[in-house]
């Protein structure tokens, strides 16, 4: 289903001509990160370090492995941001020349089941890499600060803000 709900195609279109229902690949969702990317980073980097040991005869330190894991996570987060920025910059509100269509659009956008509201709510869930919680109590029990992906994102954004700040 579309991020804006069943009526999203009435309200939104994409500049590229793609369907509004064609979103971002599932790999770039919280579920995609936690179920696939996060679980595979350590085993893959360990396998690569073992290959290097076999070929080069060196020993990889745990620090090198941790640095590689962090670098892979940072690259993934950069791709995650890029995918969502491309998608969001491609979405536009449908224009209409007819006054009655504009009135209907305004009614739909301001209604209880507004596609715009649904779009924003669904995006807020997809643009954070918090783990999905089975219920509300467990969501409150684990603060976001303890989440490794959240710490990685915070580190990335604080370092990019610091480097982007005028000196």
**Is the confidence at residue 95, as pLDDT, over 50?**
yes
**Is the confidence at residue 4, as pLDDT, over 90?**
no
Q: Residue 140: how many CB atoms within 10 A of its CB?
A: 9
Instruction: List the domain boundaries for the chain.
Output: 8-128
Task: Please tell me the predicted confidence (pLDDT) of residue 167.
Answer: 46
Structure confidence at residue 150 as a pLDDT band (50, 70, 90): low
> pTM of whole model > 0.85?
no
pLDDT, average across residues 130-148:
55
Residue-averaged pLDDT of the chain: 79
Q: What residues have CB less than 8 Å from 53, skipping those under 6 apart?
A: 59, 60
Structure confidence at residue 121 as a pLDDT band (50, 70, 90): very high
Q: Between vectors from CA 35 to CA 30 and to CA 38, what angle results, nearest 5°?
A: 85
Asked if residue 115 lies in contact with residue 7, where contact means CB atoms within 8 angstroms, the answer is: yes
Q: Residue 144: how many CB atoms within 10 A of its CB?
A: 15
**Is the confidence at residue 133, as pLDDT, over 50?**
yes
Q: What is the pLDDT of residues 51-76, one digit of tens each?
A: 766 665 666 666 777 888 899 999 99
**Is the confidence at residue 100, as pLDDT, over 70?**
yes
Q: Residue 165: how many CB atoms within 10 A of its CB?
A: 7
Structure confidence at residue 137 as a pLDDT band (50, 70, 90): very low
CA–CA dist 12, 62 (Å, integer): 49
The rounded percent of the chain whose pLDDT value lies above 70 is 71
Secondary structure class of 12 (helix, strand, coil)? strand
Asked if residue 11 lies in contact with residue 108, where contact means CB atoms within 8 angstroms, the answer is: yes
Q: What is the pLDDT of residues 10-29, one digit of tens each?
A: 889 999 999 888 889 999 99
Q: What residues have CB less than 8 Å from 36, skipping those under 6 apart?
A: 27
């Amino acid at each position: 289903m579309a991020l804006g709900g069943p009526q999203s195609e009435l309200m939104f279109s994409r500049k590229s001509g793609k369907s509004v229902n064609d979103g971002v690949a599932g790999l770039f969702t919280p579920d995609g990160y936690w179920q696939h990317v996060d679980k595979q980073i350590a085993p893959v980097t360990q396998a690569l370090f073992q290959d290097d040991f076999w070929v080069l005869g060196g020993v990889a330190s745990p620090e090198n492995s941790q640095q590689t894991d962090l670098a892979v996570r940072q690259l993934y987060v950069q791709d995650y941001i890029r995918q969502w920025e491309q998608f969001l910059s491609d979405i536009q509100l449908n224009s209409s020349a007819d006054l009655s269509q504009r009135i209907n659009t305004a009614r739909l956008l301001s209604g209880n089941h507004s596609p715009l509201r649904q779009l924003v709510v669904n995006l807020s869930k997809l643009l954070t890499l918090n783990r999905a919680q089975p219920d509300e109590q467990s969501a409150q029990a684990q603060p976001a600060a303890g989440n490794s992906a959240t710490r990685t994102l915070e580190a990335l954004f604080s370092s990019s803000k610091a480097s982007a700040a005028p000196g």
